[in-house]
Structure 1
């Protein structure tokens, strides 16, 4: 029960890494707020957690809309009166290629660039902007941001995505400096290739999948492995850690 009686908001908790984090955080004692734009997915995860006897609340949320984010935070405070943990997990990537072009700077339309950043980077900023005042008033809080291996390495082919995730890394560092005096910790996870719907289309290509499996551990990651890293950073087991940029990538970042 490492998160007993904690109130934890997890964005993008309707699938993949966010879903696994919601389940694990709830099992560790947190009341999990599932902030998810896909209503079917959000309700499904809420039901799954409640059926195990743990605590969860689904709130439909578009993290790129400031008014929506503000309403989410106000609703959580009105119901639970505090926010202990924020896991900024929501984001878009390769699974959104039918909507937004994943390409180089030269080939990325401005609208696509802006839309990708509005979710991946602006969404993280907006959630922090509206949760931090609560944590400052409490004199305690814990923020875990989900970036990507693209945020720390020169991975080609999706430059808007890479820029957005690099921004999350830099934002995590400066917030760790700014808000440590309020007993607020800010850390960042950088997953590599994780077997989630976001990259399923890529993993279905045997040649590309072979490249992903070429890291030191020789396999792609599992969403629950990212969720366990988030749990560590969200718990008191990491009480003297802030500003950490943690690859969860099977060793890809060291080769």
Structure 2
């Protein structure tokens, strides 16, 4: 099987209507990849898809989908393939962060986070596999987090989901490699996304910058560049890997 990516094959981006998902969709569209914007906000996903199509001249589709229910994947995929028949990539950027310490944690909160952040990925891969096999050079990227490595007492569910992402990607890589499909994870650090902005506004200035070697929070486009690389031919011999995009946070000994 050829390792050369079909340049006109589409990429599904979950959580594609904002933050890292949106930046990833834009980065892919910049190099001519059609994109499907999957997001729980159907109206927003359609608006973003239309905007990307207008700005970058690529085929797009906006799909409203709640990934907490596995049964929603099949109709979302059917809608996607009607607009973009050739799918050669998946970026799972959709995520929920419920900052609840273990003392306040409920089963419903745990399930809500794990179902979207982690459980959705293997079932999307399961249902997309035949489409990915048809496109040489197909690849998948899961968005993890530095919380997979750094302890965070405020968010055990989110932390567990992202730690699970790293392990799941390695497992799926061993399976998907039989079909020539690559899968990797990207681990963002402190990225200034719409999800992070309220937290940044609530804390004292410099809270997130202090432990970062580069001394600043990252931008979504800086994570998106790593995502685009891992979906490209330039990463043709990379699978089961974790690409950390954290400005040196995990390795830092600076005071947090």
Fold-level similarity (TM above 0.5) = yes
Alignment coverage as a number of residue pairs:
246
How far apart, CA to CA, are the structure 1 residues paired with 2:66 and 2:86?
A: 21
Query: Unaligned regions of 5+ residues in structure 2, if any?
Result: none
Per-residue CA deviation, residues 73-95 of structure 1 (Å, 9 max, x unaligned), is 233334433320000111112xx
- Greater alpha carbon shift after TM alignment, 177-186 vs 125-134: 125-134
Provide runs of 4+ in structure 1 moved above 6 Å: none
1:16-35 to 2 correspondence within 5 Å? 16-35=19-38
SS of alignment partner, residue 87 of structure 2: coil
Aligned residues of 1:149 and 1:190 also touching (Cα < 8 A): yes
- Greater alpha carbon shift after TM alignment, 241-250 vs 72-81: 72-81
- Say yes or no: does 1:225 pair with 2:229: no
The structure richer in helix per residue is 1
Aligned residues of 2:11 and 2:36 also touching (Cα < 8 A): yes
Structure 2 vs 1, CA of residues 220 and 10 (structure 1 numbering), >3 Å: closer, same or farther?
same
Per-residue CA deviation, residues 145-186 of structure 1 (Å, 9 max, x unaligned), is 011111122222100110111111110011111111211100
How far apart, CA to CA, are the structure 1 residues paired with 2:155 and 2:124?
A: 24
CA offset at residue 204 of structure 1?
Answer: 0.8
TM-score, normalising length: structure 2: 0.90
Structure-2 residue corresponding to 1:111: 108
Query: Unaligned regions of 5+ residues in structure 1, if any?
Result: 94-99
Aligned residues of 1:64 and 1:126 also touching (Cα < 8 A): no
How far apart, CA to CA, are the structure 2 residues paired with 1:105 and 1:70?
A: 34
Aligned residues of 1:193 and 1:221 also touching (Cα < 8 A): yes
CA offset at residue 72 of structure 1?
Answer: 1.8
CA offset at residue 139 of structure 1?
Answer: 6.2
How far apart, CA to CA, are the structure 1 residues paired with 2:202 and 2:108?
A: 28
How far apart, CA to CA, are the structure 1 residues paired with 2:82 and 2:45?
A: 20
- Greater alpha carbon shift after TM alignment, 78-87 vs 219-228: 78-87
Aligned residues of 2:192 and 2:219 also touching (Cα < 8 A): yes
SS of alignment partner, residue 193 of structure 1: coil
1:237-248 to 2 correspondence within 5 Å? 237-248=234-245
- Greater alpha carbon shift after TM alignment, 131-140 vs 145-154: 131-140
1:205-216 to 2 correspondence within 5 Å? 205-207=202-204, 209-214=205-210, 215-216=212-213
Task: Select 2:201's aligned residue among 200, 204, 216.
Answer: 204
Structure-1 residue corresponding to 2:163: 166
- Say yes or no: does 1:40 pair with 2:50: no
